[in-house]
């Protein structure tokens, strides 16, 4: 590809950049003598051999759609075509730099400049989405800033139609790690909200100078995108108003339905922030700091809208807080309505501080985790029948299995609850690995015959944002996980749908949807997934067969008086049947032998015989 000299009527001048799927060249349109940029795509790098025949048709159709896009902040596509294994777009040549170059060089734009660029980007996205096109690869490298400071969105080489049923197949990831939405990573449906997520990542970089999701390698980054919340921007730059924490949180929501519905809504929030920032800058008085500047702001608000009067008051006061305070009070007496405005300002500041505290609380004490509960089935009955000593031995053996499994899989043990345990994991797959290891350990315990009765563990888990303290966790996630444990079968592992979706590798442990469960205190039923750990049960399930419920069918030995009576009656009936069978079908005996035999078997029968 680096030696390419000509594509159609376009001469190749030099290489501008390269990527995983092709190379971008500077070219010359020999017919119009026009400088152009040519984005090449190697078809074989995008699809396998089975899809190659279909790709050309889709590429031409999508290229025609992109070429029809006409927006001031979207690079103009002049032409497109194919030559052999190379498909190409011919676009306007932009004299400028990628946004990535500015960010990588440590350039920090002003807040107003950053918001201005983002608003233009979101306008471009909103227009593309209105035309039924999803970009799918929004990142600083695909955002150009020309010499006049104008933004241009480029590289529509991996676009997808919003309503297309043909594009990327399920399980295929298209995009750039670090900017991909959770649904792109998981290989589920892509929508305009995927572009909104990526735009949120770009805004985060502009505001803080760093990416929201980082890690050692692609897998670690993708894990964080799917499972973790990034630090709020204000925790990185204390000068940022807390409102940006809320905007970023909405743009980077894990679930698409929780993000902005449209790019235009995202842009409107930024426009309001931009207006607020401009208003604050225009009202600030140079040269004043601390209490003096705060007093000056009060004077501006309460001086009946007269900026000139306010400035005159400040100069006359010569920095005296008392003089400024007196002016504020006098102005407030003249206008009760203006006094209300001053109170509103104080309320706004209070609400801003409250929002900031809430954000700091969320950052410090909340995490996206997977909560796991374990519980011994029938432990109360075991304690009643076997006694306290056996019950304590059982719990010790349980802890010997559970505790190392939690620790070895990066889990945090929180506490014991009776004969159960509460723990949590930052990685959902670690939680399921732990549960499988525990059930295999319990199975080995039963095989050892240490106890004369079978012992079964129920395990349930749920994932979500949770309040995490030093020695405890709290929140609805904990309650839901507890109820999933209650709904699990003995020897079973029951996952919520949120935990199943958070699994980074669904092929490692065999899981599938099994039922909907209604949990106490919840209005809507939950989808429940079972994690299989027994190889035989897995094989039967894959074959569509149902394994016999051997675990649940085994009852804990009972020693109640009622149980003894039932067994006594059953034994008596069996003995009578054997006696009568011997009398009528067995070898001949004398009357004395027969009577003696019956007498030895059961006294009531002998008594009735004498009466007869």
| Residues involved in catalysis | 137
**CA nearest to 401, candidates 373, 434, 450, 448:** 434
Rounded to whole angstroms, the Cα distance separating 392 from 112 reads 66
Q: Look at the block and give the residue holding tokens 């909907």.
A: 516
Pair type for strands 457-468 and 23-29: unpaired
The answer to whether the CB of 85 falls within 8 A of the CB of 43 is yes
Contact 475, 365 (CB under 8 A): no
CA 151 to chain centre: 31
Among 463, 585, 588, residue whose Cα is nearest residue 527: 463
Buried b (16+ CB within 10 A) or exposed e, 55-65: beebbeebbeb
d(CA 164, CA 578): 77
CB atoms within 10 A of CB 376: 21
DSSP string, 323-343: HHHHHHHHHHHH-HHHHHHHH
Residues 206-221 as b/e (b if ≥16 CB within 10 A, e otherwise) read bbbeebbbebeeeeeb
The one-character DSSP state at 257 is G
Tokens of 97: 């730099």
Strand partners, 77: 91
In order of 176, 183, 248, 366, 504, the CA distances from 252 in angstroms are 16, 12, 6, 16, 19
**DSSP character for 74?**
B
Q: How far is CA 192 from CA 48, 381, 541, in A?
A: 26, 56, 38
Residue 376's φ and ψ, nearest 5 degrees, are -80, 125
For residue 186, give the nearest of 134, 222, 136, 224 by alpha carbon. Answer: 222
Closest listed residue to residue 132, CA positions, set 159, 102, 169: 159
CA 490 to chain centre: 29
Query: What is d(CA 295, CA 328) in angstroms, rounded to the nearest whole number?
Result: 8
């Amino acid at each position: 590809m680096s030696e390419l000299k000509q594509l159609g009527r376009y001469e190749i001048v030099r290489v501008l950049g390269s990527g995983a799927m092709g190379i971008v060249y500077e070219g010359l349109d020999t017919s119009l003598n026009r400088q152009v940029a040519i984005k090449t795509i190697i078809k074989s790098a995008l699809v396998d051999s089975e899809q190659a025949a279909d790709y050309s048709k889709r590429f031409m159709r999508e290229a025609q759609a992109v070429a029809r896009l006409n927006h001031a902040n979207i690079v103009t596509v002049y032409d497109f075509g194919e030559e052999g294994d190379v498909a190409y777009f011919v676009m306007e040549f932009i004299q400028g730099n990628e946004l990535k170059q500015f960010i990588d060089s440590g350039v920090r734009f002003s807040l107003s400049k950053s918001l201005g660029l983002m608003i233009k980007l979101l306008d471009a996205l909103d227009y593309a989405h209105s035309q039924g096109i999803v970009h799918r690869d929004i990142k600083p490298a695909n955002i150009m800033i020309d010499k006049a400071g104008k933004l241009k969105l480029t590289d529509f080489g991996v676009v997808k139609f919003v309503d297309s049923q043909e594009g990327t197949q399920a399980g295929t990831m298209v995009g750039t790690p670090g900017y991909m939405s959770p649904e792109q990573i998981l290989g589920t449906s892509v929508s305009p909200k995927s572009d909104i997520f990526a735009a949120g990542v770009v805004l985060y970089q502009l505001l803080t100078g760093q990416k929201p999701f980082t890690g050692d390698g692609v897998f670690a980054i993708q894990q964080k995108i799917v499972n973790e919340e990034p630090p709020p921007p204000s925790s990185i730059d204390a000068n940022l108003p807390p409102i940006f924490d809320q905007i970023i949180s909405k743009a980077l929501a894990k679930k698409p339905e929780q993000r902005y519905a449209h790019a235009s809504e995202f842009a409107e929030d930024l426009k309001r922030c931009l207006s607020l920032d401009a208003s604050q800058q225009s009202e600030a008085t140079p040269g004043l700091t601390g209490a003096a500047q705060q007093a000056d702001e009060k004077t501006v608000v309460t001086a009946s809208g007269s900026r000139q009067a306010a400035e005159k008051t400040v100069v006359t006061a010569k920095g005296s807080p008392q003089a400024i305070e007196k002016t504020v009070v006098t102005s407030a007496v003249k206008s009760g309505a203006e006094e209300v405005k001053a109170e509103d300002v104080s309320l706004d500041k209070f609400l801003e501080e409250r929002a900031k505290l809430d954000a700091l609380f969320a950052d410090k004490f909340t995490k996206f985790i997977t909560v796991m509960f374990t519980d011994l089935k029938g432990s109360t009955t075991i304690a009643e029948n076997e006694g306290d000593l056996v019950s304590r031995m059982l719990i010790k053996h349980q802890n010997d299995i559970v505790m190392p499994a939690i620790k070895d899989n990066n889990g945090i043990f929180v506490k014991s609850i009776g004969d159960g345990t509460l723990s949590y994991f930052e990685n959902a797959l670690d939680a399921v690995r732990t549960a499988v290891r525990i059930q295999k350990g319990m199975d080995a315990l039963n095989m050892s015959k240490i106890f004369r009765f079978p012992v079964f563990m129920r395990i349930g888990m749920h994932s979500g944002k949770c309040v995490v303290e030093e020695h405890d966790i709290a929140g609805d996630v904990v309650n839901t996980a507890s109820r999933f444990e209650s709904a699990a079968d003995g020897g079973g592992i029951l996952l919520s749908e949120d935990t199943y979706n958070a699994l980074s590798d669904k092929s490692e442990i065999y899981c599938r949807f099994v039922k909907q469960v209604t949990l106490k205190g919840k209005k809507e039923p939950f989808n429940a997934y079972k994690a299989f750990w027994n190889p035989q049960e897995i094989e039967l399930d894959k074959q569509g067969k149902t394994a016999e419920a051997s675990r649940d069918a085994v009852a804990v030995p009972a020693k109640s008086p009622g149980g003894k009576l039932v067994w006594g009656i059953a034994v008596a009936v069996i003995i009578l049947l054997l006696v009568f069978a011997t009398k009528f079908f067995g070898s001949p005996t004398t009357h004395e032998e027969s009577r003696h035999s019956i007498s030895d078997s059961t006294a009531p029968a002998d008594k009735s015989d004498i009466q007869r």
